[in-house]
Amino acid sequence: MSLSIARDTAETELRQEQAVSRTKLAHKRHWGEIVASVLVVVVAAFIIHAIVVNKNMQWHVVWSYFGSHVIITALLVTLELSLVSQAIAIVLGILLAAMGQARNPVMRTAQQGYIWLFRGTPLLVQLLFWYNLALLFPNISLGIPFTHLYLFQESTNSVITGFVASILGLALNEGAYMAEIVRSGILAVPKGQLDAGSSLGMRRRRVFRKIVLPQAVRVMIPPTGNQFIGLLKASSLVSVIGGGDLLTRVEYIYGQNFLVIPLLLVASIWYLVLTSLATIGQHFLERALDVEKRGPRSERLGPRWLRNLRPGKEGVSYG
């Protein structure tokens, strides 16, 4: 095939060109920059020194609690709260975004109303509402409306535990934000993609699933990662309703032994670990979905990830 021959020649030429060594250009030094850098290093060293030698930090207490059973259990609760809430929020976000696109004005108004309410009130207030739901509805029942036929009836307080209230509060609030992220992701897909999909004879819903969503997801990853990191930290708010998360547990412990600072440090370090891990995860997810920069389809996420873990190999490093 004459075309592919032309292509091969071009590739060979390109390779030859790359063999030529490039000249590395030196940068001119600026005195202001050097002075500022020295200043920053001195101030940082001062702060770090002040923290490390401060007896009130009680680092030995920090480390004794850091990996303790209580803390790890609480950490898992935080992780569970965040992951479950985020998962529910993503589903909710997709549903809400679909409602926002609907032709039916009732659907669109309901969607706008939801976002208005849940984005417009503080998360802390929402959490308190869910926790105190029993004051509003003493019983929760499932049955046929306006009749006395019930499939299920239970007192609100036994259903809405601290954990359930936490999930409800975090997920429903997060869902409002996810709806906007999903919407912007969908809007980012060019209209021509819809034309091309429908011209193949695919139904609207299938076009959405096969063509729009996969492309929208790529746009949605960075803001969703951001939201998730926010959620990891915001989950600490559930300590006010006894959500049983990391901060709840830490507050409980220092309420008894008054080792406030070391225990807050334990929590902070764990939050930093979680958010760092989330950042790394987000990075890999973005790379995996960035099909346009990827070579001919061969290397999948798995092998690439393993390759990046090996030391001394080219790739991303988080040094």
Partner 1 sequence: MADPTVQATGVHKWFGQTHVLRGIDLTVAPGQIVGIIGPSGSGKSTFLRCINHLETIDAGDILFQGKSVARRLLKDRPFEIDEKSVCDLRSRMGMVFQQFHLFPHLTALQNVMLGPVNVLKQKKGEAEQIATDLLKRVGLADRGHHFPAQLSGGQQQRVAIARALAMNPALMLFDEPTSALDPELVGEVLAVIRQLAETGMTMIIVTHEMQFVQEIADQVLFMDNGVVVERGTCRQVFKDPREARTRDFLARVAHYPKQEREGEAGRTLKV
CA angle 299, 302, 305 (to 5 degrees): 95
Residue 15 corresponds to which tokens in the numbers above? 């390779």
Cα 153–chain centre separation: 35
CB of 191 to partner 1, least distance (A): 9
**Least distance to partner 1 from the beta carbon of 210, Å?**
6
In the complex, what is the shortest distance from the CB of residue 219 to partner 1, in angstroms, rounded to a whole number?
12
Shortest distance, position 8 Cβ to partner 1, whole Å: 10
113 vs 214 by CB, closer to partner 1: 214
Q: Minimal distance in Å, beta carbon 292 to partner 1?
A: 4
Nearer to partner 1, 143 or 190 (CB): 190
**Contacting residues for 243 by C-beta, under 8 A, at least 6 apart:** 77, 81, 162, 163, 165, 166, 235
- CB nearer to partner 1: pick between 42 and 187: 187
Nearer to partner 1 (CB atom), residue 10 or residue 76? 10
Q: Which is nearer to partner 1, 218 or 249 (CB)?
A: 218
Q: Quick one: 104 or 199, whose CB is closer to partner 1?
A: 199
**Where on the chain is the footprint of partner 1 (CB under 8 A)?**
1-4, 6, 190, 192-193, 195-204, 206, 210-211, 214-215, 218, 291-298
Least CB distance to partner 1 at residue 138 (A): 47
Q: Please identify, using beta-carbon distances, which residue of 3 and 19 lies nearer to partner 1.
A: 3
**Distance of closest approach, residue 108 Cβ to partner 1, in angstroms:** 20
